[in-house]
Chains A and B, each alone.
Chain A
Amino acid sequence: MCASIEKSMLIADLQQQILQWQGFKQIEKKDYAICLGELEKAFPGHVFPVGTLHEFMMESNEEEAASSGFIGGLLSFLMQKDGVGLWISSSSQLFAPSIKLFGVDPDRIIFVNMEKQKDILWALEEGLKCEGIRVVIAEVQDIDFVQSRRLQLAVEKSKVTGFVLRLKSRFRGTTTCAARWHISPLPSHVQGDMPGVGSPEWEVELLKVKNGNPSRWQVGWRQNQFQAKRLVLSSNPIYHAKRKVG
């Protein structure tokens, strides 16, 4: 018994050392930590990496809406204590009142509408450098490794969290983002046999996690909290087919 505890402690210690060698810095727990329940286990140190870049892959308008909802949930944690967010997009925009349902004050988000993808990336980088804001969300179709590295350098200094929403992205190569998400809607959660549409549910898939374990979860939003449950089914076929090719 004693030997097994020693062994597990040794393994945990070794894991920490490996993470350090991989250049992973221990994330300090901030006062606005994100509670994702079981999903947090996918991340190194079982903490949602704040102050880094996350990307969300979206294939359709429905997935775009689902991702926006999921991000809304994340923002409710990130933007606590009067935090400010910046949402940069080109054409479509978040419908501001909806995000209040996820516990975020829409008037604390500043929406920027820009025509060119190049300008959006520039604004994203500037936003990530700015210490006056907590989170920057940018809707860009494609982002390559070099561009993402610039953003990563900006983020490392300022500790601002960045979300990149990529609708119908053609480029699926590596980026420096800490995690790559894919969120698709699932039938809503209804208590008992109640009629009507219930609280939102999503299939949250982590396609890539830096120093973590990619997997799939069923996540719901109930009473201003995420409820996550791990799924053991085979992964989304679209992404896996493409990953094999790439």
Chain B
Amino acid sequence: MVKRYAVLWFPFLLTDWYTKHNPQLTHTPFVFAMPERGKMCVSAVSPLAAELGVIPNMVVADARAAIPKLEVLQDKPLRKERLLKSIGLWCMRYTPMISMDTTGFLILDITGCAHLWGGEEAYLQEIYLQLKQKGYEVRISIASTIGAAWAIARYGQHGIIIPDNMQQEILSTMPIACLRLKSNLLERLKKLGFRTVVSVTQIPPQVLKRRFGEDLGKRVRQALGEEEEFITPLKPVIPYAERLPCLEPIRTAKGIEMAIEELLGMLCKRLMGEGKGLRKAKLSCYRVDGKVKYIEIGTSRASAHIAHLLDLFKQQIPTIAPGWGIEVFVLEAIKVEETTPIQELLWNGEGNLDNDALAELLDRVKGKDSHCRIQRFLPDEHYWPERSIRLATSLTEKRTTVWRTDRPRPTRLLNPPHPIEVTAPIPDYPPMLFRYKGEVHLIKKADGPERIERAWWIEQGEHRDYYYVEDDQGRRYWLFRLGHYQGDRSANWYLHGFFA
């Protein structure tokens, strides 16, 4: 398939943007300036200033001397790049593959996109008019190579569409600067009398390579389509994405819901066909006023169940502010995993950890309150009570060791243990009474001690001697003494839990 590229050049990007927000400057020549090597230099020029002969990289003092009424505004580093990126993201509606050139160009890979707008001419016109309406002066050209499109956009006229395999003819008369060369190389070429592209292409490539290095030949080949050129997209292309442009802007929750349902239908059909399910999906709503609103959902395991995914999105619809309406919806499956649909059907009995209803319920709970913790515990091979359980990473993770039942454990554990006052016979007998929250508990029955040491390879500290005690009213507690009994100081006793 023949690749087609559109290159957008904004000759007055920064100043157009500034005039849009400050209309009073429309009839004043102004420039942006930034300090460069100790001097204030012009970084961006407004159309009026350009007419008066101000060019970028000029020293501000010189420009002022020539045009006394010139307005000079302070520029910020990276402002231009940020602006260009936001325009690039806006252009996502025309093609998903967009790259940004640091010198102020947008490169759109429009292969297979233009026919949706009724041909390349209409496509180009649409982009031009939309950007014009937003107040940006733009020059666009379409060609089969990035190099050719770039050359025409920068040095040719606006709106030229070069048919496939016509690069050679059109480029040959263009100036040598249209080849995207480094400035020092360009200087040398000019000095030697190379003015047009054709003057370079006539010379055998080996000679060029010997005299001017690899770069020149490469740029020529790229422009003529003899060498492939790759672009790095602004946003990585997500393989599972669906888009839904709307005839009329959508403003109601019901409308958004219908749009999501439509998109999910398309996406899930594709996913199911490939035996996959989504774990994370993002819905981008492109509003009429150029803002983009996002909502995201996540599932605890791969799912392509439309009704369930729609439920998850429905919980978040109220967070979308539609403004004047949403014109394009894009649904992307950010994270996709393999599923085993046949097995799911087989084991879809009631009351199993591996059932869909449970996974979907947990997704809904997580969607309702994103701060909630959903935990499943598995036994761990530690004696230390706090470490005897670990969190399972998934719903179906199997335990690797058995649950111990040889020692009593309280149904409710206090975290952290609560310090208590205890009267206990020395050195190792169970306590006789203890005071907890102002109440004195007389101990009638007791078991213990059960000594639990810390795992020395994890943490340092004293061991615990646990006692399982029951008071005169039948209430059962888990107490421990931290460390050994020492005659000279009172021992540290703690309450660590309540037994059933």
Known: A107-B378, A200-B476. A98 touches B371 (CB 8 A): no
Residue contact B379 to A97, C-beta cutoff 8 Å:
yes
A114 touches B364 (CB 8 A): no
B355 contacts across to A, CB distance below 8 A:
84, 132
Given A65-B498, A107-B392, A133-B361, check contact A196 B447 (CB 8 Å): yes
Contact B368–A119 (Cβ < 8 Å): yes
Tell me whether A95 and B476 are in contact in the complex, defined as CB-CB below 8 angstroms, given that A84-B353, A100-B403, A132-B357 are known contacts: no
| A111 engages B369 (CB within 8 Å) | no
- Which of A68, A185, A196, A200 interacts with B473 by CB under 8 Å? A185
Interface flag for B201 (CB, 8 Å) = no
For residue A112, which residues in chain B have a CB less than 8 angstroms away from its CB? 362, 365, 372-375
Interface status of A212 (Cβ within 8 A of chain B): no
| Contact, CB under 8 Å: B375 / A95 | no
- Residue B446 at the chain A interface, CB threshold 8 Å: yes
Measured between beta carbons, the chain B residues less than 8 angstroms from A116 are: 369
Name A98's contact: one of B361, B364, B395, B409 (CB within 8 Å).
Answer: B409
Residue of A nearest to B375 (CB): A111
Q: Are A197 and B476 in contact (CB under 8 A)?
A: yes
Q: Which of B351, B447, B475 contacts A185 (CB 8 A)?
A: B475
Contacts of B395 in A (CB 8 A): 110
Which of B361, B409, B475 sits near A97, CB closer than 8 Å? B409
Is B119 an interface position by the 8 A CB rule? no
* Residue contact B412 to A84, C-beta cutoff 8 Å: no
Q: Is A108 an interface residue (CB 8 A)?
A: yes
Instruction: Say whether, besides A82-B352, A83-B351, A119-B372, A188 and B470 are in contact (CB < 8 Å).
Output: yes
The reply on A162 being an interface residue by CB < 8 A is no
Rounded to whole angstroms, the CA-CA distance of A43 and B20 in the bound complex is: 77
Is A69 a contact of B499 with CB atoms below 8 Å?
yes
- The one of B378, B404, B498 that contacts A62, using a Cβ cutoff of 8 Å: B498
Give the distance to chain A from B154, nearest Cβ to Cβ, in Å: 58
Say whether B500 contacts A115, CB under 8 Å.
Answer: no
Expressed in whole angstroms, the Cα–Cα distance for A27 and B374 within the complex equals 33
Which residues does chain A contribute within 8 Å of B356, judged by CB atoms? 132
Q: Which of A66, A84, A95 has the most CB of B within 10 A?
A: A95
Instruction: Find out whether the CB atom of B369 lies under 8 angstroms from the CB atom of A95.
Output: no
A190 to chain B, nearest CB (A): 7
Measured in the bound complex, the distance between the Cα atoms of B378 and A221 in whole Å is 24
Could you tell me the distance in whole angstroms from the C-beta of B139 to the nearest C-beta in chain A?
55
A133 to B353, CA, bound (A): 8
Contact with B along A84-110 (1 / 0, CB 8 A): 101000001011111111100111111
Among residues of A, the one whose C-beta sits closest to the C-beta of B362 is A110
Closest chain B residue to A78, Cβ basis: B351
Cβ contact within 8 Å between A100 and B377: no
Q: Does A134 contact B (CB under 8 A)?
A: yes
Q: Which residue of B lies closest to A64 (CB)?
A: B412
Contact in complex: A111, B411 (CB < 8 Å): no
Residue B199, interface by CB 8 Å: no
Contacts of B389 in A (CB 8 A): 96-97, 106
CB pair B371 A115 closer than 8 Å: yes
Residues from chain B with Cβ under 8 Å of A195 in the complex: 445
* Cβ contacts under 8 Å, A113 to chain B: 372-375
- Is B405 on the interface with A (CB-CB < 8 A)? yes
Residue of B nearest to A69 (CB): B500
A111 and B377 form a contact (CB under 8 A): yes
Q: Which residues of A contact B376 (CB under 8 A)?
A: 107, 109-111
Distance A95 CA – B147 CA, assembled complex (angstroms): 67
> Shortest CB–CB separation between residue B66 and chain A, in angstroms?
67
List, in ascending order, chain A residues with CB within 8 A of B385's CB.
Answer: 95
Q: Establish whether residues A126 and B365, one from each chain, have CB atoms under 8 Å apart when the complex forms.
A: yes
Check if A110 sits within 8 Å of B374, measured CB to CB: yes
Q: Does B410 lie within 8 Å of A65, measured CB to CB?
A: yes
Could you tell me if B374 and A70 are in contact, using CB atoms closer than 8 angstroms? no
Cβ of A37 within 8 Å of any chain B Cβ, yes or no, is: no
Q: Identify B500's interface contact among A72, A81, A130, CB under 8 A.
A: A72
Please determine whether B351 and A200 come into contact, CB atoms closer than 8 angstroms. Answer: no
Interface residues of B (CB under 8 A from A): 350-353, 355-358, 360-362, 364-365, 368-369, 371-379, 385, 388-389, 392, 395, 399, 403-405, 408-413, 444-447, 468-470, 473-476, 497-500
Closest 4 CB pairs of A and B: A69-B500, A132-B357, A65-B498, A95-B413
Q: Which residues of A contact B (CB under 8 A)?
A: 61-62, 64-66, 68-70, 72, 79, 81-84, 86, 92, 94-102, 105-116, 119, 122-123, 126-127, 130-134, 185-188, 190, 195-198, 200-202, 221
Chain A to chain B contacts (Cβ below 8 Å), 13 pairs: A65-B497, A65-B500, A82-B351, A84-B353, A98-B500, A107-B377, A109-B376, A110-B374, A112-B362, A112-B365, A123-B369, A197-B445, A200-B476
